[in-house]
């Protein structure tokens, strides 16, 4: 990341729905330099009258210089970047990316950027990932990167969603829990839980993080991502439970 970053044009090569309102765009980016899991890109849309709108989107795919080893999901071919965009019905940019853009279309982007909210394979500590809604995207890139590298670092994901239908990457997560040893996934349902779920729907709380995270003594590296209020709640709980604030990295996506 030594060179200054400038805008480049990417081509949408394919797209798929992850949930009824979240869509993954696979982008072909010429001369893509590679990225670290957790990094994002900025997308810039320009209307015919010259008006522009710019938004940040995390990279969902892992980057490996060689083709996928396991085929268990998105290893990300060289020069390929995947984004997952959650549609906000009253949003300016996200409905365009989920409902209007089609394969073959071009979009302008800048990146990869951001070197702080990243996980590197050389980190050996246990990892706790806490995602609220679309905050799963950069954390999924970390899970994918660990999987592709056959990493042994113990990983736990706590993923808060409104309903089971709102969970992105659900099939892939299930597969990875089986095939990537040392990965655990726990869901928190805030509006509707699956039948037979042991607790009624509730927001993320001390009990969930205490029972499904790591004890502070394990000195895990914690990554928290999602809507701003979610990130603040989860990070406060981690600090209250005794986690070292220096080991808690947060990324706020905005919203309430």
Specify the pairing of strand 221-226 against strand 248-252. Answer: parallel
Q: Which two tokens stand for residue 139?
A: 């954390």
Our CB check for ligand FAD shows the closer of 19 and 58 to be 58
58 touches ligand FAD by CB under 6 A: yes
Which of the stretches 17-25, 40-48, 158-166, 208-216 binds other proteins when contact is defined by CB under 8 A?
A: 40-48
| The only residue of 23, 40, 176, 243 in contact with other proteins, by rule CB under 8 A | 40
Restricting to residues 117-176, name those near other proteins by CB under 8 A.
Answer: 117
Cis peptide bond prior to 112, omega within 30° of 0: yes
Identify whether the C-beta of residue 176 lies closer than 8 Å to the C-beta of residue 147: yes
| The only residue of 19, 134, 153, 180 in contact with ligand FAD, by rule CB under 6 A | 134
Our CB check for ligand FAD shows the closer of 115 and 194 to be 115
| The only residue of 92, 165, 171, 236 in contact with ligand FAD, by rule CB under 6 A | 92
What's the rounded Cα separation, in Å, for the pair 71 and 185? 20
| The only residue of 39, 94, 233, 250 in contact with ligand FAD, by rule CB under 6 A | 94
**Which is nearest to 155 in space by CA: 132, 198, 187, 186?**
186
What's the rounded Cα separation, in Å, for the pair 10 and 188? 35
Q: How far is CA 39 from each of CA 111, 120, 215, rounded to the nearest angstrom? A: 8, 11, 27
Distance from chain centroid for Cα 112: 14
| The only residue of 4, 48, 217, 242 in contact with other proteins, by rule CB under 8 A | 4
Q: Which two tokens stand for residue 114?
A: 């951001």
Where on the chain is the footprint of other proteins (CB under 8 A)?
Answer: 1-6, 40-42, 54-56, 110-111, 113-117, 228, 249-255
Where on the chain is the footprint of ligand FAD (CB under 6 A)?
Answer: 40, 55-58, 84-86, 88, 90-94, 134, 137, 227, 251, 253-255
């Amino acid at each position: 990341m030594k060179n200054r970053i400038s805008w480049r044009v990417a081509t949408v090569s394919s797209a798929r729905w992850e949930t009824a309102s979240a869509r993954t765009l696979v982008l072909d980016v010429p001369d893509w330099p590679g990225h670290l899991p957790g990094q994002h890109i900025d997308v810039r849309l320009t209307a015919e009258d010259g008006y522009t709108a710019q938004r940040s989107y995390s990279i969902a795919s892992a980057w490996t210089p060689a083709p996928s080893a396991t085929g268990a999901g998105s290893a990300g071919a060289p020069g390929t970047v995947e984004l997952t965009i959650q549609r906000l019905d009253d949003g300016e940019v996200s409905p365009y990316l989920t409902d209007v853009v089609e394969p073959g279309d071009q979009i302008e982007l800048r990146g990869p950027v951001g070197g702080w909210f990243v996980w590197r394979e050389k980190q050996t500590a246990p990892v706790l990932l806490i995602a609220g809604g679309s905050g799963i995207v950069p954390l999924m890139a970390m899970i994918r990167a660990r999987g592709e590298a056959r990493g042994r670092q113990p990983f736990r994901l706590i993923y808060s969603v409104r309903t089971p239908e709102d969970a992105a990457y659900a099939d892939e997560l299930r597969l990875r829990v089986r095939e990537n040893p040392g990965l655990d996934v726990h869901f928190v349902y805030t509006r509707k839980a699956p039948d037979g779920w042991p607790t009624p729907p509730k927001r993320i709380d001390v009990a969930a993080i205490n029972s499904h995270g790591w004890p502070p003594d394990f000195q895990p590296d914690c990554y928290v991502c999602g809507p701003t209020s979610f990130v603040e709640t989860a990070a406060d709980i981690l600090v209250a439970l005794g986690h070292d604030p220096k080991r808690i990295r947060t990324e706020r996506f905005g919203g309430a």
